[in-house]
Amino acid sequence: MNETILLISIGLVFLILLLLWTRRGAGAAAEERDAAAARDALVTLNLGMPPRALAQRIFSPDDWLFVTSHTPSRIQRVFLEERTKVALKWLDCTVLNVGEVIEMHKRAVRQRKTLLARVELKLAINHAAFLLFCTFIRMLMRWQGPFLPGKLIGYAMTFAEQVSILATRLTVVLEQRALGNHGTFDK
């Protein structure tokens, strides 16, 4: 029964993948992006993140402590909602900047003959782990607001890192199997 469900799932998921790819369009051009800025970000590692002072202001617990000790609960609720929106926008901006660097990397390497499978896979896993961490933080912010306890951030970070380590180990196992079958992984 499990095999039946698995195989039907494979067929249906593949059909959905084809449908999504069809809707994406033939040769869909990338969204309008500042290619020069993304190229510079990759070369100089100046990722164009929002200033640190801004981030410190958004997540500083001082404002929240002031609001909770001097205002009624209705005001506290509004403050928390508005500050959460700002924090989520800041997070989206961070994720977008990193995404542009990754896209720039892909466009730069896709025609290079020296492209290595294991390196691309590790980069993809690192990026996926980063996105997973951001997704957790986003969920936590929606639930508890932007003033998150350090412990929760630590858990989110650890979970994302464990997923990354597991995925990296899996690629090593697959690489070793392929080496056992073919002699080299990247020809």
Partner 1 sequence: MFSQIIWWVTNLLIAFLLVRALSARLFIKYPVFYSYLTYVLIESLIRFYFFVFRPGLYEDVYWNTQFLSVALGYCVIYEIYTQALASYAGVSRLARVLLLTVFVVIVSKVLATSVGEHALLPAEVPALLERDLRAAQAALLAAIVCLLVYYAIPVGINVRGMVIGYGVFVAASVVSLTLRSHFGIDFQSVWQYFQPAAYLLTLTVWCASLWSYQPNPQPWDDVELEGDYEWLAVRTSTAVSKARGYLVRALRP
Q: Indicate whether 106 belongs to the interface with partner 1 (CB under 8 A).
A: yes
DSSP conformation letters of 33-93: --HHHHHHHHHH----PPPHHHHHHHH-HHHHHHHHHHS-HHHHHHHHHHHHHHHHHHHHH
Query: Which residue, 75 or 116, has its beta carbon nearer to partner 1?
Result: 116
User: CB of 51: closest distance to partner 1 in angstroms?
Assistant: 10
User: CB of 89: closest distance to partner 1 in angstroms?
Assistant: 13
Q: Which stretch binds partner 1 (CB under 8 A): 63-71, 72-80, 174-182?
A: 174-182
For the four alpha carbons of 30, 31, 32 and 33, in that order, the dihedral sign comes to negative
Q: Indicate whether 138 belongs to the interface with partner 1 (CB under 8 A).
A: no
Q: Which of residues 16-75 bind partner 1 (CB under 8 A)?
A: 17-18, 21-22, 24, 26-30, 35, 39, 41-43, 45, 47, 49, 52, 55-56, 58-61
> What number of chain residues touch partner 1 (CB under 8 A)?
79
